[in-house]
Amino acid sequence: MSLDKNGIAQRIAQELKDGYYVNLGIGIPTLVANYVPENIDVVLQSENGLLGIGPFPEKGKADPDLINAGKQTVTTIPGSSFFDSSLSFAMIRGGHVDLTVLGAFEVTDKGDISSWKIPGKMVKGMGGAMDLVAAAKNIIVATTHTDRAGNPKLKTSCTLPLTGINCVKKIVTDLAVIEVSDKGFRLVERAPGVSVEEIKEKTGAPLIIEGDVPEMKL
């Protein structure tokens, strides 16, 4: 059975390591914070100027001066720090953030990603996505395997405007975990009960399959 959004977030949380500084994008990536294993410490970075994002505030305690990059009210944790936008992107560009998780419209087997613009339809801007994908040491994309019409989102080239090139390292979808290797997409794991055949059929690029592909453990 394919995973829901929380399942995708839960699988991505397994990629976290103790001591990681992580930037989570809007949407499914934000949910990853709910599944951080209890035995490890992970510090979340928000590009609007907060290191150490805490949980949402209690009702009645929201502070308009304290928000995340999705403009939601948040709180701090012991050890949090605040800083300006240029220092925030110095952390990102300087390679100090260990992992970036973000959503995508399309990802290619070369690691290219489109995620910010649909010509004629959506002109909201790239925000910090281009800076994040160009500079992060490790980038995981969280997405559904196909779009709402059932078309593959994992393909050989992007049709929508690019956010960055040769940058995505891993993709976690509702159907599979796929690595972007030098030779293209490599199928690493499949969602519980999902066949290799189904994943192949719903992927718009060749898949490297080596031996038995294990099921994800959630």
Partner 1 sequence: MNKVVKDAKEAILGMEDGQTFMLGGFGLCGIPENTINALVDSGLKSLICISNNAGVDDFGLGLLLKKHQIKKMISSYVGENSEFERQLLSGELDVDLIPQGTLAERLRAGGAGIPAFYVPAGYGTEVGEGKESRMFNGKMHLLEYGLTADFAVVKAWKGDTMGNLVYRDTANNFNQPMAMAGKITIAEVEILVEAGEINPNEIHTPGIFVQRIFQGTDYEKRIEFETVRD
CB atoms within 10 A of CB 173: 26
Site for partner 1 in 60-99 (CB under 8 A): 60-74, 82-86, 88-90, 92-93
With contact defined as beta carbons under 8 Å apart, do 167 and 135 qualify? Answer: no
Nearest distance from residue 134's CB to partner 1, in Å? 4
Cα–Cα distance for residue pair 73/7, rounded to 1 Å: 25
- Nearest-angstrom CA–CA distance, 193 and 175: 9
CA gap 150, 61 in Å, rounded: 42
134 binds partner 1 (CB under 8 A): yes
Q: How far is CA 41 from CA 76, 148, 165, in A?
A: 15, 36, 31
Size of the site for partner 1 (CB under 8 A): 53
Phi-psi region of 41 (alpha: psi -120 to 50; beta: other; left: phi over 0): beta
Query: If binding is defined by CB under 8 A, does position 159 make contact with partner 1?
Result: no
Q: Least distance in Å: CB of 84 to partner 1?
A: 4
Between 68 and 173, CB nearer to partner 1: 68
- Annotation says 47 is catalytic: yes
If one asks whether residue 35 binds partner 1 (CB under 8 A), the answer comes out as no
Active site residue: 15, 38, 47, 179, which one? 47
The binding site for partner 1 (CB under 8 A) comprises 46-50, 55-74, 82-86, 88-90, 92-93, 112, 123-131, 134-135, 161-166
> Active-site positions?
47
